[in-house]
Structure formats: C-alpha cells, structure tokens
Structure 1
Amino acid sequence: MSMSRTERGPERLVVIGGDAAGMSAASQARRMKGPDELEIVAFERGHFASFSACGIPYWVGGEVTERDQLIARTPEEHRARGIDLRMRTEVTEIDVGGQRVRARDVESGGESWTSYDKLVIATGARPIRPDMPGAEAPGVHGVQTLDDGQALLDTLARTRGRRAVVVGAGYIGVEMAEALINRDYEVTVVNRGREPMSTLDPDMGRLVHEAMEGLGITMVNDAEVTKILTGDDGRARAVLTEDAEYPADVVVLGIGVRPETALARAAGLPLGTHGGLLTDLAMRVRGHENIWAGGDCVEVLDLVSGQERHVALGTHANKHGQVIGTNAGGGYATFPGVVGTAVSRVCDLEIARTGLREKDARRVGLQFESVTIEATSRAGYYPGASPMTVKMLAERRTGRLLGVQIVGREGAGKRVDIAAVALTAGMTVDRMTALDLGYAPPFSPVWDPVLVAARKASKAVRQRT
C-alpha cells in the first residue's frame, strides 16, 4: 500500500540558480506554502545570490561604491526564511525520469544526488566568448555575474597600463565603455555593426556613436575581431581585426549573452531557435508538468511580432520567478509575454527602445511607416530643456503601433514607457495622439515628444492609405 504525500513528508522543490528568477521563485513558493508542506532546496554555483547584474557596470565604474549594495538578499536571509540555499554548488546533471539532480561542491569536488517533486531551472545566461585565439586569456573578461565584476575589478587594480578595448557595442559594451572611461582608461570599442546599439535602427545608433565619441571613446564600427593577441606572460595585450591592431591592457567582452541551457539540452528538454528553454504561459517547461523555467535561460513571446525571442533582463526574470513560485506553490499565475522594452545611458545620453526595429518588422512580414521627430524634454522656454529624437513605426493600413526608439538627454529614457503601455494595449498611433498625459513646462512641452511622433506617424498612415 503506497504512502500518502502527508505520510512521506513535504514535497521538495529544487531550484537550479540562485539569482533573480530562481530566488524569486523560491521566495514566492515559500510565501505560498510553509516548510511543513514544501521543502525548498536551491543550488548556486557562484559566491553570490539575489544580486543585480544590471548594476555591475555602475559598480565597475565607481558610481556604486560597494559590491554588497547590489545584493538584494543574502544567503543567510534566504535560509532564515526556510530556503535551503547551497552556495558554491553546481548542478551538473538533471535526471528527468528519476526526478533528481546531481550537484557538485565547487570547493571539494564532492558530488551527490538530490531528488525533487518539482524543479525550477533558472540557470541564466553566459557572456558570448568569440571562438578565436586568445579569447580565454587572462585579462579578457565577460561581465554577467558579481564574480565576473569582481574579477574585472581585480584585473583593473593589478594592471599598470590604462588602455582598454571593449568588444561589442550593445547595452553591456556601451555601459562598460563608460565605466572604464570613469576609471580613467583610454577606451576603444570595436563593433562589427554599422553603428553601436544594434537594438536600435542604425540612424538612431548614429546618435549614440556621436555621444560616445564626445566622451573620448574611440569607436571602430564595421570591424570584426579575429584574434586577441597575448604577451610573453600569456595575458591579453591587443585586439586584432582584419585591418588593424588595438593595444589593450584589459579586454571586456560586450558581445551579448546566450541562454545557459547546456544542462537542459543534455536532459532532453525543449529548446527554441535562440537556444532558450520553451515554456507555456505558466512558465512550465513544455511537455513537463513538474518542471518550470524562467529568467535569462528561457525564450519568451514577443507580443508585437508573435514570435519567440530571447530577452536577458532582470525585470522579466523577477516576474518569471513570481509566476513560477505561485504555480509551484499551488496557485495560478501566467506570464503573457514582452514588447521588448529596454533603457540605457551613456553619461547623460539616455537610450530607450520598445517594440520592433525596421528589420524586425520586415522579418515577420509587416509593412510599416517610419517617422522621426526632434523635440525637447521640457517646454522650450523652460530652463534645462534638452533635445530629444523619437523614431516611431506604425503598421501600414491599420496604424497599429509597432515600435518606438528614443535618444536624448534628461527625461528621454523613461518616456519609452508610454509606448510600452501603448504596444501592450495594441493601440494605434491615431489613438495615441489623444492620450491624456501629464503636462507642465518643467516636465514636457504642451505636446509631449511621443505624441508629436504619434501625430506624424498617424498622418503618414493616412496619406499612405
């Protein structure tokens, strides 16, 4: 006669990964059920849990002075809440059929199996390291975890030279370039795209290019890194492209990240075209009732294009964790998808985008009108008004908003939230022109720049129709 769940003791929830998605899921599951109903075991291979990866460039640059400011909750605080968080412990295998995971103590090398009733995979993403000579040499750094940030700071403290090369000009590359400028380094950014910030259309990326050069950063676009040269000591000394050699005392990789899904792949779990785990709306791994996944290791639905995409952002990871923890704890929640909102900064230049770029729209077969306007952040006569460029895409014939990009000074970046809400609501640009936004001269012109762009886009759609 089989025992009931009560007779066998509490269910066990195992979480792989101790950062945003994993520990949000564990914490939410604990709120749903106490230790007598649900045992929670979490594995984290690094030295830190529940930290802000987004804050690492500002820590490296010195704007955030203490590493611990980036830690939302310590392992001790998690354990005090009834979560068995095991640090410096790496899961090396998932046995789906046997409902267990194999974990290795990073310090001792000892291995053991832990069974689970429910499993959460929150393994995050890893920095892309180019497949080329020298990519693994000392002095070459990816920046994804607090361990990575600490390793980079240790290198900066030991390095006598003041020349840095950043490979890649996405969000991480641009933010790290600024951080190194703040550390008084001579910075060169080598970027294979036409302009920095490939998440923007090139015409908007050009504005970022000009701002970066204004900071004293040397921008090298349309350049593919072929090799990282090393010195007699084995350390990185230069970055080589087909056309030139750029001396470097430190190299930072800002090429982007890939989902960390080697464990999931080996276990036979379903992956998408971008290498991320595929889940349903409840963040449950497709085809597996008792396995959930969230954070940078999953693919999510783009609500504008209707396709799956990989978006590595802490905002989504924390939401995923809340949804997973609720469902694993016996409740019900869903994560409907994203519109692709992101915001960044290069010194005082704010960079924001949401929705589709021109090439995204073309790729999914959408025809569109594209407009660009220049406006100011405040009423033109009010002190501190600064220029702002807004680009807007609207679907031809329907006028449905497809995407917005904004580059400008103070007050530019967070304006993208207006567009993010409009995209989520499926609004047309004509409908947007009537939005009742807050107005006073210190905050915006009478016509907010986003609404000026919506008016121009609406006119373009009507003329085309």
Structure 2
Amino acid sequence: MGLGRVKSLPFEVIEGEEGSMSSRLVVVGGGAAGMSAASAARRVDPALDIVVLEAGGYAAYGLCGLPYYLAGLVESADDLLAYPPSFFREQRRIDLRLNARVTQLDPQRQTICYAQDGRERRLGYHRLIVTAGGVPVRPPIPGLDDERVFTVRTLEDAISLRSLLDAGRIGQVLVVGAGYVGLEMAEALTARGSAVTVVEALAQAMPNLDAPVAALVEAEVRRRGVDLRLGTRLEKLARAGDRLVARIGGQQLSVDAVVLATGVRPASSVAAAAGAATDQAGALLVDESMRTSLPDVFAAGDCVATHHRVLGRPAFVPLGPAANKTGRVAGTVAAGGAASFTGIVGTAVVKVFDLAVARTGLTLTETLAEGLRAVATDATGKSRAKYYPGTSPVHVRLVHTPGGRLLGAQLVGAGDGVAKRIDPIAIALQAGFDVGDLVAADLSYAPPYAPVYDPVLLAAQAANAANAIASQPNSLAV
C-alpha cells in the first residue's frame, strides 16, 4: 500500500512499456481493496495478466486486527494474513510483487514506474486500479522521526512494537490521538501492562461522536486507568538515553514509546499528480463502477471518496468493509464484468475496554455543519430483559430532522448488543426510513438477547413523539 516519490535510482524498462500489453491489469496496493480487486478480476477473466504492486512486505492482512495482535489476543503476525503470498501467486495466478513502491503514473503512455530492490522499473498496463490506501497523518512536531515512534498502520510497524512489548521494554507509553485507533491502542497497551497516557488536541475523545456520547467513552477510558488528557497537544519530542521525553501541554513526560494515532489521509498523490480528480480531502473521485477521471484507471479502498447516501455526495470515510466492496467492484469492471457500488452510510463499531461504541449516518455536529436543520433524541434501555443475568445499559442517540427524517445514530453499551443494534439502523438509513418507520421495525426479542422494548425502539418512540409535538401548530419546540 502507499504511493510515494523515489529519486536517484537506477532505471530499468521491463514488461510492456507504453501500454504495449493489450490485456494486463495492474493493481497498486496489496491491502484489502487491492487483493479483492485482483481476485475479482481473476474470477471474471481466467486468462488476464494481473500484477499487484505492494509497497510493504506483506499483503492481504487484517489491518484492523493490529491492536489485538499487540494486545496478545492474536498470537502470531501470520494469523492476520488472509492468505500467504504463495496462495495468490500459485492458486490465483496473480503476480504479487512485495516491496514495490509506485512512484509515477503516465496515463497517456499507460505506464507506471515503481521502485523495487534498489531499482526503478517501468510497467505497461491495459487497465490500472489504484488501491494505495491511507497514509498516517504525521504532525510537524520535532522528534517524530525517532525509531520509538510508531503509527501502527502497517504490519511491519506492529511487529516492531510487539517485539518491544514482548521484551518488557515498554513500561510507559504516550498515545497521540483519541480516535478509534488511539483508544484501541490504549486498551491494547494497557492489557500488556504498560502505563498509558493519551493526549487529544480536541476537547473530546472520539471526535466522530457527539460530545454527550463521547463523554460516556471518556469515563470508561479513565475508569480503566488510562491518563486521558483532552485539549492537550504533543508539542515536542526528544531522545533521552533509552527513553523519550515528550512535552505535552507545557509539561514533560518521560516514556518508552510514542504511538501516533492522529488520523489518515488518502494516499492519492501519484494518481492526483497524473491528473486524477480529487475532493477537498485529496481522496480520488470515482463513479459507481470505481472509474476515476483518468482513462482506464480505477480506484478503490481508503484512497477514494465514495458516495455517502445520507449526505448525497462523495465523502472520505476510510473503513474496511467499503474497501473490500469497492475493490471487488473495481476488479470486476476492470476485467470486463459489470458491477457497481451504490455508496455508504458510514457505519462503524469499535471496542473500547468494556464498551462497544457504534455510529452510522451523521452525528448532530456533522449534520449542523452541513447546514441541515436537525435534532438529537437520546434514550437508554437495557441490553437484555431486566431480570436476565448480565443485562447492562445501552445508550442510543438518534439524529433526525424535526420532520422525522432519520439522519444517523450513535450507540454505546457493553457487549455484542451494540453491534446487533447499529446494523438495523444502518439498513433503515439505506432504505430511507424515517423515525416513524423505525418505531414499527419488527426487531427480535428473547430475554437473553433483548428486552421487549429494545433500546432502539425506545429512542425511535421518543424521537417520533418529539417530532409530533414540533409539528403541531403553536408548538414552542425549537
């Protein structure tokens, strides 16, 4: 994964310069989207020449599993591999080339240049799929080039950090960023016995939640012993012997390692430099068939902006399920088949210690930023029948217009019940349901799994009642 510039390398021309290969598909990136694309293309055309160029030393691994590998829940790095490289090469006849970083794209000549083994090479293509993924955001802070600073965006990075943890050399660690990855890393490192400090520049954790919902997560993180500091920035980092000294919020903190979890940006620079259209975030713009604005060039995964079905426009929302789906569509169409991707609603769930935290659609903050008139309705119900052992609270926030149009939801609670409940709301968003439709949803019930009045139904009933009051003449509702 990843596109980058490589200079001053010996140059070698190989395999079909200037598009002379009439039936070669080249895929840039060997992550979820890339290998899904290559595999889908092979199913469509058994005779197609398929080459995958992966910048790192591993392909087709579970990126979202890295925190669990670091926590020790996943024993071996190999367990994260969907298939070994030999499977793709021998069973699917895909020419997978590791440590091959793409440096330049020439859409007129239909060639790409890539660096591998200290040489720069040129490769012609008939069709090209860019699945370069995302690049970690690295703030311009002195000291971040130290070897004890990790982004945990690649398996190599995770293996290096895991070796230090296994050797007992990470007693205290600083995590920069309190989003999904930052809090997952805080949990993983706490599980390994490290003392964890998390700093977040914003005033709340998990900025993709509304503040009242994020407060529930913050309380859980602090309850589990993490030193969570909000509204605090990492200002400087310096080496002090075997340790690092971080200046945060004007104070000094000595740590054994730093984990950067400050977000990702789309790895689109090479395609964009070749003229591919992008959105304001730099993500590649694609149509339903994953075609970019360049002829015979497709894109998929974390480097693209896909159609957001609630916003009604493209949005950069890098999540694993969409990466796999868009990769499959891109590979199918590039190989001559028919497929389309109709968009996302931004559904995600994350484990934060004993809580599951989920969202779909838009938050109230996001909705108001779009200039839409919206309100939020909160309700708290039980995960199971109140008399059944193990029941726990589930907090639901529905975001909707005063007229009842459903715009999004956020859920926080313990266990699998949150993941069970966010999915039907995501389907409701895709189907265009309003909160009245959600009230009528025929959800499952059994005491071990859900109460008769599910928390989602309680929230929908409250939202529907509020909408009814707001719609009455002389109503004082705002």
Q: TM-score, normalised by structure 2?
A: 0.92
Partner of 1:435: 441
1:171-190 deviation digits (Å, cap 9, x = unpaired): 00000000000110000100
1:261-318 deviation digits (Å, cap 9, x = unpaired): 12112212111111111111111002x2311000011111211122322112111110
Partner of 2:115: 104
Q: Matched residues in 1 for 2:423 and 2:162: separation? A: 34
Alignment of 1:296-445 (within 5 A): 296-397=302-403, 399-410=404-415, 411-445=417-451
Partner of 1:11: 23
Per mean C-alpha deviation after superposition, the further-off stretch among 300-309 and 267-276 is: 300-309
Q: Matched residues in 1 for 2:278 and 2:22: separation? A: 31
How big is the shift at 1:229?
2.5
* Structure 2 residue identity aligned to 1:209: E
* Structure 1 residue identity aligned to 2:372: L
SS of 1:29's equivalent?
A: helix
Q: Matched residues in 2 for 1:166 and 1:56: separation? A: 15
Partner of 1:24: 36
* Structure 2 residue identity aligned to 1:13: L
1:413-464 deviation digits (Å, cap 9, x = unpaired): 3311011001111100011101111111111110111111011011111111
How big is the shift at 1:396?
1.6
Which residue of 220, 226, 231 corresponds with 1:222? 231
Partner of 2:183: 174
Q: Matched residues in 2 for 1:200 and 1:258: separation? A: 19
Which residue of 138, 144, 158 corresponds with 1:149? 158
Q: Matched residues in 2 for 1:341 and 1:57: separation? A: 20
SS of 1:263's equivalent?
A: helix
Q: Matched residues in 1 for 2:275 and 2:334: separation? A: 21
Partner of 2:102: 91
Q: Matched residues in 2 for 1:381 and 1:159: separation? A: 44
Q: Matched residues in 1 for 2:170 and 2:458: separation? A: 48
Partner of 2:457: 451
Q: Matched residues in 2 for 1:356 and 1:182: separation? A: 32
Q: Matched residues in 2 for 1:133 and 1:308: separation? A: 35
SS of 1:412's equivalent?
A: helix
Q: For the Cα contact (< 8 Å) 1:52–1:314, is it kept in 2?
A: no
Q: Matched residues in 2 for 1:418 and 1:194: separation? A: 31
Q: Matched residues in 2 for 1:325 and 1:133: separation? A: 42
Q: Matched residues in 2 for 1:242 and 1:186: separation? A: 19
Partner of 1:201: 210
SS of 2:285's equivalent?
A: coil
Q: Matched residues in 1 for 2:249 and 2:216: separation? A: 26
Q: Matched residues in 2 for 1:122 and 1:464: separation? A: 47
Which residue of 72, 77, 87 corresponds with 2:82? 72
How big is the shift at 1:9?
7.3
- Is 1:54 the counterpart of 2:64? The answer is yes
- Is 1:269 the counterpart of 2:276? The answer is yes
Partner of 2:196: 187
* Structure 2 residue identity aligned to 1:128: V
Equivalent pairs counted in the alignment come to 450
Q: Matched residues in 1 for 2:345 and 2:251: separation? A: 39
Q: What runs of 5+ residues in structure 2 fail to find an aligned partner?
A: 1-19, 472-478
1:314-363 deviation digits (Å, cap 9, x = unpaired): 11110011101110121111111111111001122110011111121112
Alignment of 1:153-168 (within 5 A): 153-157=162-166, 160-168=169-177
Q: Matched residues in 1 for 2:163 and 2:279: separation? A: 37
How big is the shift at 1:157?
4.2
Q: For the Cα contact (< 8 Å) 2:21–2:124, is it kept in 1?
A: no
SS of 1:393's equivalent?
A: strand
1:175-211 deviation digits (Å, cap 9, x = unpaired): 0000000110000100112221111111111111110
* Structure 1 residue identity aligned to 2:265: R
Q: Against the structure 1 CA distance between its residues 83 and 142, is the aligned structure 2 distance closer, same or farther, given a 3 Å change threshold?
A: same
* Structure 2 residue identity aligned to 1:259: P
Q: Against the structure 1 CA distance between its residues 452 and 162, is the aligned structure 2 distance closer, same or farther, given a 3 Å change threshold?
A: same
- Is 1:260 the counterpart of 2:267? The answer is yes
SS of 1:311's equivalent?
A: coil
SS of 1:441's equivalent?
A: coil
Q: Matched residues in 1 for 2:270 and 2:163: separation? A: 30
* Structure 2 residue identity aligned to 1:326: T
Q: For the Cα contact (< 8 Å) 1:352–1:414, is it kept in 2?
A: no
Partner of 1:45: 55
Q: Matched residues in 1 for 2:217 and 2:254: separation? A: 24
Q: For the Cα contact (< 8 Å) 2:284–2:305, is it kept in 1?
A: yes
- Is 1:34 the counterpart of 2:40? The answer is no
Q: Matched residues in 2 for 1:239 and 1:414: separation? A: 41
Q: For the Cα contact (< 8 Å) 2:28–2:54, is it kept in 1?
A: yes
Q: Matched residues in 1 for 2:166 and 2:221: separation? A: 25
* Structure 2 residue identity aligned to 1:44: E
Q: Against the structure 1 CA distance between its residues 459 and 77, is the aligned structure 2 distance closer, same or farther, given a 3 Å change threshold?
A: same
* Structure 2 residue identity aligned to 1:33: D
* Structure 2 residue identity aligned to 1:275: G
Q: Matched residues in 2 for 1:404 and 1:430: separation? A: 15
State, as a whole percentage, how many aligned pairs show the same letter: 42
How big is the shift at 1:374?
1.0
* Structure 2 residue identity aligned to 1:417: D
The Cα RMSD (Å) is 1.4
Q: Matched residues in 1 for 2:231 and 2:400: separation? A: 29
Partner of 1:122: 131
